Structure 1
Amino acid sequence: MALISLGMYLAKSMWAVSYAIASFVTMVLTWVAISGAATRYRKVNWILCALSIQLSELPVSIMCMDACFYTWLNVTGTFQESLLVRFFYYTNLITAIGLLYLFKRAFEVQELGQKFLDQLFKGSKDWIELPGLTSLRFWQQLLNPFQWPRDCTIYENIPYWTQEEQLNAQTSDGWKSVLDMALDIYQPCSVQAGDDRPVLFYMHGGGWTMGSKKLVGPLLQEMISYDWIVVSVDYRLGAKAGYPTQLIDCKRALRWVKDEIRIFGGNPENIVVAGDAAGGHMACLLASTTNLPEYQPGFEDVDTTVHGVLGLSPVVNLVDLENYSNHDCRTRFIKDVARREGSAESAENLKFLTEHSPRFRLKEPSIPHMMIHGDIDTLVPVQHTRDFVNHFRNTCTSTPIAYLEVPGGHHCFHLISSPRSWYIAIAAAQWLNYHFDGINNIDSKPDKRRQEIHEIVEWGWD
């Protein structure tokens, strides 16, 4: 009997300590989520961002989890017996106030998105109202963190290399590297081959060294619902040659899409490139390095023209002479990503960083851009995107650019299904539809185009 009592005491003590730790950590992360606090260490910022973004985007879910934990402590009698639990109960009340504030900030994005759409559709009959608290969609979709593309067929892991590229990649970096050279296609169920629907060509983020094409957020789901063809691209993350291998791989994937996308109902003459963070960086560069032979080795004559750019928390300035970053981004990119010799401050490496910074490649003529960035991003400075947008408007005066600076948005907040990310996804989708939907090959009828579609083959092999 004594052993049973001891066991029950130890179990309650374990729950009490767990509750205390959870309460303290949640309180700290809530403060980080509200303030956007950052350190001088990139890895620490990355960890804080990855954790605090859960509270920033899912405050209601966090409060529900805490309520369940608290109820369990009451059921087991731990709450009444532990001073530790009672002390941290009041800590959690303070945290709950912070979580409610986070929810309020997320809901404020509705007003931002609505103003953007009102301006976009000014004088048009295509006006749209964003869902609010009284909308069924808000509760079914905007507060459901578990979202996956529906009403579409997914074609996974399609390789985009040629035989020579496959052999070179395998020789230099191993078979795992070859497997990274693949893409997924999301074809809406209502779309057939030859329909010539717009294509969203999406590149994931992850600092050029990690990430996956499987990380699809609300934006991609929203575009599928509008019968866009979505292509999600992987690229080599650990190539010994370093960057710009990632950029060249994305151009290889674009080459494949232009050649084969009609099979899936996409229009190769209507491709919008998009991406988050490092993927946003490469989306901007795909637009500004069109058909440049140095970034198209072995396929120099292939047309890599794209028609629009959507950047989400994009990296647009690798030089960062103003030192907006809290960490030394120049050195990290030169040493860990590009794997170049010498100091990041050397003239040669500064020239390399400048050449691969979308901010310094802008020129007229250009193509429509839309940039989205959270105002408390601790990994990619929002000021860089502000400067990019201002420079674009001064340089590319005949080309439209839209900018949404998202209040309370952390780095890559849009990857989590939340009110904030869905409002931004809806606004971005409407911008994409406004500029790119309805562009078809008017010289041939859909039935005729479908008859001309060839079957997909082992692409690039002799």
Structure 2
Amino acid sequence: MSEMPLIAIVLEAGFYIFLRVTGVAHTSTLVQFANFLNLLTVAGVLYLLKRSFDAKREADLFLQRLAKESKNHIQLPGFTSPRFWKQLLDPRHSPQNCFVHENIPYWTSNEQLMVMEADGLKSVLDMALDVYRPTSAEGGDDRPVFVHIHGGGWTGGSKSLTGPLLTELISRQWIVVSVDYRLHSKAGYPSQLIDCKRALRWVKDEIRIFGGNPRNVIVGGDSAGGHLAALLALTPNQPEYQPGFEHVDTSVQGCVPQSASFDLVDLKNYSYHGARERFIKEVTRREGAADSPENIEFLMEHSPLFRIKESSIPFLVTHGDLDNLTRVQVARDFAQEFQKKSTAPLSYLEIPGGHHCFHVYPSLRSWSTVTAVAEWLEHNFGRYNGNIASGKKVPVHELVEWGWSS
């Protein structure tokens, strides 16, 4: 409801008009009481709409700050814009004008056998990705690449849940890669992180075939996917998370975590009750109490908040101020710690009225946020190295059948 206030108001108004036209509105005290409740609902929805415009104002301020650097201010769509109404009233946000290359495996034959023996065929099939290639893109174009990692509490979700941000980037001629990872590995976490690094290895080797630049890769995700994206950016080339491919470059150029879990330790008790215990028992499947010294050390090792160090990777952190799963205080702490420890720039966009993963729904709030994020990405990474304009193409090889190669 909070992400679709105008649609709710239209439905309420239509229902009320129907009651008036048919005369039902005057038939009973119960119906009249229901009408009164509807009016209260409309008042509440109008407040939600006002909060949506608060979010739009924050995005506008963010773009104004960005415009000082880019000299290219973007005005967010408003009531007079056809795009505003299209985005608000059309619930579909599936990518348009692109080719979708689905279920490409990113494991080698040795990894396939290992996972088959440990977890079975289903887990092997989870280790795949989709590539969204704009219809105008050709191999060797050297377009920027956005790698998206889905959320779902590390044990759920799917790469098919693309959302407005991926749709927006594809419309801006980016190459988008959406990654699946093992959700039910018997070994537990960090299998998910290792799989994401395997997917990044594939991107570095193969993305030129689809028109992407392997030296201009930005990673992002929401919720648990935001946690994995942040760790991916903060742990480049660390051999303990790259078993069998220790010498592969797994660095990225930027990171966009949304509604992310930055602090698994949660010593300040920001998260809901039992979050730390759930992660240890259900996600990592480790022995012992969640607050034992060994498990606290493990949680710190896998919390982006404690892995910042001297990161040189630019971050854009977006978070809703009403997030009830990953509290906004955690995002604020991460942003503050990053700015103290890192030499890289961090941009922080806090969205009024935003709940957990609000950005996956097509609404005024989400599209304002998406536009701001896309402009930040374009400003920092939206370069094609002149290959498209000049007609020059970087030589590319044929796509390797990763799953069956030795």
Length-normalised TM-score, structure 2: 0.95
1:315 alignment partner AA: S
Greater shift in the superposed pair: 249-258 or 144-153: 144-153
1:198 alignment partner AA: P
Q: Are the aligned partners of 2:139 and 2:393 in contact in 1 as well (CA < 8 Å)?
A: no
- Residue 457 (1) aligns with residue 397 (2): no
Using CA pairs below 8 Å that are at least 6 residues apart, which structure has the higher relative contact order? 2
Q: Select which of 412, 418, 433 maps to 2:357.
A: 412
* Deviation of the 1:289 alpha carbon: 1.2
Change (3 A) 1:73 1:238: farther
Q: 5 Å matches for 1:312-351?
A: 312-351=258-297
Aligned-partner Cα distance in 1 for 2:322–2:126: 32
Q: Select which of 17, 28, 45 maps to 1:99.
A: 45
**Paired position in structure 2 for 1:221:** 167
Aligned-partner Cα distance in 2 for 1:339–1:243: 7
Q: 5 Å matches for 1:423-442?
A: 423-438=368-383, 440=385
Q: Are the aligned partners of 2:12 and 2:42 in contact in 1 as well (CA < 8 Å)?
A: no
Give unmatched runs, 5+ long, in structure 2.
none
**Paired position in structure 2 for 1:130:** 76
Aligned-partner Cα distance in 1 for 2:375–2:338: 21
Q: 5 Å matches for 1:143-292?
A: 143-292=89-238
* Deviation of the 1:64 alpha carbon: 2.8
* Deviation of the 1:86 alpha carbon: 2.2
* Deviation of the 1:76 alpha carbon: 6.9
Give the number of aligned pairs.
Answer: 403
Q: 1:331 aligns to what SS in structure 2?
A: helix
Change (3 A) 1:369 1:439: farther
**Paired position in structure 1 for 2:239:** 293
2:188 alignment partner AA: G
* Deviation of the 1:124 alpha carbon: 4.3
Greater shift in the superposed pair: 139-148 or 228-237: 139-148
* Deviation of the 1:79 alpha carbon: 4.4
Residues 208-240 of structure 1 show CA distances to partners (whole Å, capped at 9, x for unaligned) of: 011111111111111111111000111111111
2:68 alignment partner AA: K
* Deviation of the 1:459 alpha carbon: 1.6
Please identify the structure whose Cα radius of gyration is greater: 1
* Deviation of the 1:66 alpha carbon: 3.4
Length-normalised TM-score, structure 1: 0.84
Aligned-partner Cα distance in 1 for 2:124–2:70: 48
* Deviation of the 1:166 alpha carbon: 1.5
- Residue 362 (1) aligns with residue 308 (2): yes
Q: 1:56 aligns to what SS in structure 2?
A: coil
Q: Are the aligned partners of 1:270 and 1:439 in contact in 2 as well (CA < 8 Å)?
A: no
Aligned-partner Cα distance in 2 for 1:167–1:65: 54
Q: Select which of 328, 334, 350 maps to 1:388.
A: 334
Q: Are the aligned partners of 1:194 and 1:446 in contact in 2 as well (CA < 8 Å)?
A: no
Residues 94-134 of structure 1 show CA distances to partners (whole Å, capped at 9, x for unaligned) of: 01100011011112222211111111121643221111111
Q: Are the aligned partners of 2:141 and 2:393 in contact in 1 as well (CA < 8 Å)?
A: no
2:372 alignment partner AA: A
2:344 alignment partner AA: T
Aligned-partner Cα distance in 2 for 1:76–1:320: 56
Identity of aligned residues (%): 58
Change (3 A) 1:448 1:74: closer
Aligned-partner Cα distance in 2 for 1:102–1:303: 46
**Paired position in structure 1 for 2:253:** 307
Q: Are the aligned partners of 1:276 and 1:311 in contact in 2 as well (CA < 8 Å)?
A: yes
Q: 2:101 aligns to what SS in structure 1?
A: strand
Aligned-partner Cα distance in 2 for 1:441–1:69: 55
Change (3 A) 1:421 1:395: same
1:333 alignment partner AA: F
Residues 17-46 of structure 1 show CA distances to partners (whole Å, capped at 9, x for unaligned) of: xxxxxxxxxxxxxxxxxxxxxxxxxxxxxx
1:459 alignment partner AA: W
Greater shift in the superposed pair: 261-270 or 292-301: 292-301
Change (3 A) 1:182 1:72: farther
Change (3 A) 1:124 1:248: closer
Aligned-partner Cα distance in 2 for 1:297–1:70: 62
* Deviation of the 1:80 alpha carbon: 4.2
Aligned-partner Cα distance in 2 for 1:439–1:378: 39
- Residue 399 (1) aligns with residue 347 (2): no
Q: 1:447 aligns to what SS in structure 2?
A: coil
Give unmatched runs, 5+ long, in structure 1.
1-54
* Deviation of the 1:448 alpha carbon: 4.4
